[in-house]
Amino acid sequence: MVLSKNVRKLLRDETRFVVNKMKGATAPQVKLFYLAALRRTASRLIGIEFDPELVFVDYVLFGVNDTIQKRLNTLSQEQEPVIGLPERFFEKIEDALEDMASRMEQDEPTYPSLQTLVNLMFSVTPEGRYLRLKGIVVA
């Protein structure tokens, strides 16, 4: 990311704060609340300091949050119970976010972390569940 040191530090620190809060929460909706807060932080930072990679971070976090929220809603309404959340799902999200924070600290591209997040998002879709049932590790 070509962000100033201060903005990059702000996003990195916010990411680590969110990861710690997610790890401390047990309810999926609470974990999702913190993930959504991180997305809003990224979105606000775009207006302060534009960076194409930051826009990508924002859109990935938006997509992940939205897809998980829809899956949780579907599960709570017992509409597609066969498509649950994979084992260690939120733990893997937390790991990917921590990796993203570390990459920002080292001034490395965040794309590998974002790819992991997108694959985790895909894993809770019907197509992702189908691949998991076939034994294919999606994320």
In a domain, 139, yes or no: no
Look up the pTM and report it: 0.92
What range defines the domain where residue 17 resides? 5-130
Cβ atoms 92, 120 nearer than 8 A: yes
User: Please, what is the end-to-end C-alpha distance for the chain in angstroms?
Assistant: 24
| Total domains present in the chain | 1
Alpha helices in 5-139 (DSSP H): 5-24, 28-48, 52-76, 89-105, 111-123, 126-133
How far apart (Å, rounded) are the C-alpha atoms in residues 42 and 93?
17
Per-residue pLDDT tens over the stretch 65-110: 999 999 888 888 877 666 778 889 999 999 999 999 999 999 999 9
The band of 2, judged by pLDDT with boundaries at 50, 70 and 90, is confident
- The predicted model gives 54-73 an average pLDDT of 95
Instruction: Return the pLDDT at 82.
Output: 66
In a domain, 108, yes or no: yes
